[in-house]
Structure 1
Amino acid sequence: MPAWIRSNWFLLALAVSYAIGHFGAFAMQAVADQVWLRSALVFAVMWAMGVTLKPDAIRRSLKQPTASVLAVMTNMFLVPMLCFPTQLFLSDPMFGGLMVASLVPCTLASASVWTRKAEGDDSVSMVATTVTNLACVVVVPVGVWIALAVDAEVPLLAQMKKLALFVVLPMVLAQVMRRGGLTGSGLTGRGLGEWADRNKKRISTAAQLGILVMVFFGAIKGRIFSEQSEEALLGSLPLVAIAALAVHLIALGFGVGSAKLMGLPRDQQIAVGISGSQKTLMVGLQIAIDCGVSVLPMLIYHVLQLFADTLIVERWRNRKRRPEAESDANSV
């Protein structure tokens, strides 16, 4: 298998999953209508992501919470505010989808991975991830109700209950199991934590497969309930992509810049920028499907944040290594 396919398999699989669901929507509608299956899938993926979070790293960041608070505020409040102006030029389904993308929490996987790649403080990203995912039970339903009340009938309390049950509960349960809150034989307590640490890559891959299934479901729902023609849908994609990328980059730049102005060290500046601007695909897909808005903006935001942050992280790493290499050369 070529190296570029191995490194980008998930992005390619996203495109394939969406295409299959979109073009085969009416033939496979019965599968996507299984609400229990979607809910169980979300629960399993959130548990899998939650069990890989290390409590020690979170405790370390909480001792100096400035960077984590800044990342949380950027993720929960700045990103949605940046999305509001897009209502002027995006269709209702696309604006609704982008608004949902802006409201969902920080991604459980890539924020810490990309922060670590950039040699940032991944404990900050872990705290931002944990807090935004726990707070989403209130932030997401209220934000959707405020932004999309005219376009979508969103039962506020029902949405809160759903998020608490399928996002917050599996994360809490995973951490309780990891910390030894359950007794008995098998993978519990420290045994589960050690197993999760050893198999983090496999767990992440399994979670990604769950996300692909949700993309498939979302494509089916989006195609069936969309009032846009294929031509109008394709014509709106460039605008959605520009808007999503602009929102992400502005939030990332604000996070890094504000952390620098506050005198935080470089590794925390990186963590604030990345975790303050990244959004989770899994929860976004579920909310978009529930609200009857397009899942495309959530997919586009997710793909573009991975591409953009990969390039930015590589530039940060090269910039840091250049002075180190010059110092080594001068010392010879």
Structure 2
Amino acid sequence: MHVFKHLKRLFTDWFLCGMLLATLLAYFFPTFGGTGGAMHAEIVINIGVFLVFFLHGVNLSSEQIRHGLKNIRLHFMVQGFTFIVFPLIWVVANTLLGAHIPPLLMLGFFYLCALPSTISSSVALTGSAGGNVPAAILNASLSSVLGIFLTPLLVSFVVGSGSGGIDLGSTLLDLCAMLLLPLVLGQLVRPVFGRFFARHKRYTNICDKVVILLLVYAAFCNSMVSGMWQQQGSSVIFSAFVGSAILLAIILWMTTRSARALQFSTADEIAAVFCASKKSLAAGAPMAALIFGANPGLGLILLPIMIYHPLQLIVCSVMAESYATRNRQEQAEQSANAVAAN
């Protein structure tokens, strides 16, 4: 009966059905949602991300922001997993399996491990799950900034040569335009519209989920348009998929266990798990062109992150729904206990 309950939820939950539909649409209509396609996904998603951050800015109180800044243990955990634990996992895997995996694919896995966390999906998933959004915003943003310096530095340790330059000014400008500006605008209108948005907060959650669906669709479209499935042998793609799935499973288990060992609240655990387990394809693709230049194996180097990115969105979206359900149950129990006490 327990299995049938989950199957029923799978077919009745609009968000989970949307995840499946997004992957199917990407298979049949990849050029429509790919970069430069008729949907103009890069523009639509940017607008969606801007709107999500604006709504979070409206809903964020100054007390929440101060609380997010004070949570030092959570910040150290997220950044430590992103730039230390991930690469160490690769070192172990390379020692055990490096001789059996193509060198470029193994380098691709290290590049995946060296990338910063995502911003939009980390915050959107944390928000939809009922997590600590200020902490997620702070950590995802900090990870992106640190990644500008740490990602090429980490890669240089493996390739043994210079990693090329990064346009720091342009990257920081884009970060400010997509993150800080909508947050500031949201905070500015909060005194006037804060109560209105608070009464309609469920629409904020719907917006989060729609943006996530767009991210999944665009990610799968770009994978299809790139010819990844046609250009590489099935064994290489299979190895990349299995390796990415195992890496995601390991990191989700480790982050969840670490957050609970540190006795984080449920809200902090959600932010820690979603921020510390993410890797950014949006940052990874352009950075790869700068770091690896005209390397003919660039497609193979990017293969792990191209698989890991949509995979993390699907798995973590299901986890977000589970967290949200647990939060609703806890709130219902607290309300029932309060009524009983009175």
- Asked if Structure 1 and Structure 2 have the same fold, meaning a TM-score greater than 0.5 normalized by the shorter chain, the answer is yes
CA distance in 1, matches of 2:265, 2:318: 20
Describe the superposition over 1:13-37 as per-residue Cα deviations: whole angstroms up to 9, x where unpaired: 342255347xx6xxx4996368xx5
Residue 228 (structure 1) aligned with residue 228 (structure 2): no
1:216 deviates by 4.0
Q: Which residue of 1 aligns with 2:35?
A: 32
Q: Which residue of 2 aligns with 1:164?
A: 172
Q: Which runs of 4+ in 1 moved over 6 A?
A: 151-154, 280-283, 315-325
Q: Which residue of 2 aligns with 1:138?
A: 145
CA, structure 1 residues 173+321, in 2 after alignment: closer, same or farther (shift >3 Å)? closer
Q: Which residue of 2 aligns with 1:148?
A: 155
CA, structure 1 residues 175+79, in 2 after alignment: closer, same or farther (shift >3 Å)? closer
Structure 2 residue runs of 5 or longer lacking an equivalent are: 1-7, 289-297
CA distance in 1, matches of 2:67, 2:276: 25
- Give the letter aligned to residue 106 of structure 2: D
CA, structure 1 residues 280+42, in 2 after alignment: closer, same or farther (shift >3 Å)? farther
- Give the letter aligned to residue 124 of structure 2: A
1:4 deviates by 2.7
Q: Which residue of 1 aligns with 2:318?
A: 307
CA distance in 2, matches of 1:178, 1:66: 19
- Give the letter aligned to residue 238 of structure 1: V
1:8 match: secondary structure: helix
8 Å Cα contact 2:116/2:144 also seen in 1: no
8 Å Cα contact 2:50/2:178 also seen in 1: yes
- Give the letter aligned to residue 51 of structure 1: F
2:86 match: secondary structure: helix
Which of 10, 18, 38 is the matching residue for 1:10? 18
Q: Which residue of 2 aligns with 1:274?
A: 270
CA, structure 1 residues 39+18, in 2 after alignment: closer, same or farther (shift >3 Å)? closer
Which of 132, 136, 147 is the matching residue for 1:129? 136
CA distance in 2, matches of 1:205, 1:316: 17
CA, structure 1 residues 82+224, in 2 after alignment: closer, same or farther (shift >3 Å)? same
Identity among equivalent pairs (%): 7
- Give the letter aligned to residue 239 of structure 1: G
CA distance in 2, matches of 1:95, 1:19: 25
CA distance in 2, matches of 1:309, 1:46: 18
1:167 deviates by 3.3
Q: Which residue of 1 aligns with 2:126?
A: 111
Describe the superposition over 1:231-275 as per-residue Cα deviations: whole angstroms up to 9, x where unpaired: 3202432232121121022112212221x2xxxxxxx52122211
8 Å Cα contact 1:75/1:276 also seen in 2: yes
Aligned residues: 298
Aligned residues: CA RMSD: 4.3
1:229 deviates by 1.4
Q: Which residue of 1 aligns with 2:292?
A: none
Residue 81 (structure 1) aligned with residue 84 (structure 2): yes
8 Å Cα contact 2:240/2:307 also seen in 1: no
- Give the letter aligned to residue 157 of structure 1: I
CA distance in 2, matches of 1:174, 1:308: 27
1:47 deviates by 0.9
CA distance in 2, matches of 1:39, 1:161: 21
- Give the letter aligned to residue 109 of structure 1: A
Q: Which residue of 2 aligns with 1:265?
A: none
1:19 match: secondary structure: helix
8 Å Cα contact 2:52/2:124 also seen in 1: yes
Q: Which residue of 1 aligns with 2:109?
A: 95
Describe the superposition over 1:286-325 as per-residue Cα deviations: whole angstroms up to 9, x where unpaired: 1233225131112222222233454566568778988999
Structure 1 residue runs of 5 or longer lacking an equivalent are: 117-121, 181-187, 261-267
Describe the superposition over 1:166-199 as per-residue Cα deviations: whole angstroms up to 9, x where unpaired: 333222221232233xxxxxxx665665675534
State the TM-score, normalizing by the size of structure 1: 0.69
1:3 deviates by 4.7
8 Å Cα contact 1:74/1:276 also seen in 2: yes
CA, structure 1 residues 12+236, in 2 after alignment: closer, same or farther (shift >3 Å)? same
Q: Which residue of 2 aligns with 1:119?
A: none
Describe the superposition over 1:217-242 as per-residue Cα deviations: whole angstroms up to 9, x where unpaired: 53146535996313320243223212
CA, structure 1 residues 52+286, in 2 after alignment: closer, same or farther (shift >3 Å)? same
8 Å Cα contact 1:10/1:208 also seen in 2: no
CA distance in 1, matches of 2:164, 2:196: 39
Greater fraction helix? 2
